[in-house]
Amino acid sequence: MPAREEDDGVAGWSRVHEHDASGSALAVGWLRAIHLLARPVLGVPPDVLTGCGVLSALAAVWLTSLGGDALWLALAAIVATGVFDGLDGAVALRTGRARPLGAVLDATSDRLTELCFVAVLLVLGAPAAWCTALAVLLLLHEYVRARAQAAGLRGAGAITVAERPTRLVVPAVAVTGAALAPAGTPWTGWPWGTTCAVLGTGLSLIGLAHLGVGVVRAFGRTGERGHDPG
């Protein structure tokens, strides 16, 4: 596994899980786009790109709090966060600047940006309880995967519906909806933050269960091979 790229960053996510995601046209297409975008910034240190991703996520929270037309800028900041998250891994990979500390910084920045995305939902009217549940599930998802990999799991364990791309899409939908229909989501009338927090929490629960099954199966296969007399 490349030292620079953490387990669920957009570009890093695609490459670390290359075998698992090989059947996903979306994942493959995004990875190719990121590598094309990386060409003009190959001279930029990957850690700088990582930092830019955190700053853009913080900007998304602030812009969301302004409301009105600033919501479109918040959407742009969320998209920029995803792009920076992919570029740091792509640049590190293509320039040979991958290192363990970079992987730690990348993983930390991803968790920080995801908490910023939860804050975006909170600003858009999501109840604190739903936001707390979503944040806990996001962190638990990555904790389980990291502990499994530390215990010897090779690969992702499972590519779930709650991976990094989904975590970007949920707040993006929330700010877009709030910009287009400030009165709330159709039929329910809920604030867009609430609707997307509920959606994100549901997807995170499904993703965590999927990951748990994948980890159990992976270690079960490992155990079977360990007892193979051959």
Closest CA to 1 of 14, 19, 15: 15
How large is the C-alpha radius of gyration of the chain?
18
Q: Work out the number of other CB atoms within 10 angstroms of the CB of residue 195.
A: 23
Q: Work out the number of other CB atoms within 10 angstroms of the CB of residue 166.
A: 15
Buried b (16+ CB within 10 A) or exposed e, 25-38: eebeebbeebbeeb
**Most distant pair of Cα atoms in the chain: their distance:** 67
Provide φ and ψ at 85, rounded to 5°. Answer: -60, -35
Residue 57 and residue 116 in contact, taking contact as beta carbons nearer than 8 Å: yes
Residue 196 and residue 174 in contact, taking contact as beta carbons nearer than 8 Å: yes
8 is catalytic: no
The first and second tokens of residue 156, run together, are 């992702």
Catalytic choice (8, 69, 110, 228): 110
Supply the DSSP symbol for 201.
H
Going by C-beta distance under 8 Å and a sequence separation of 6 or more, which residues neighbour residue 99? 3, 4, 92
Active site residues: 110
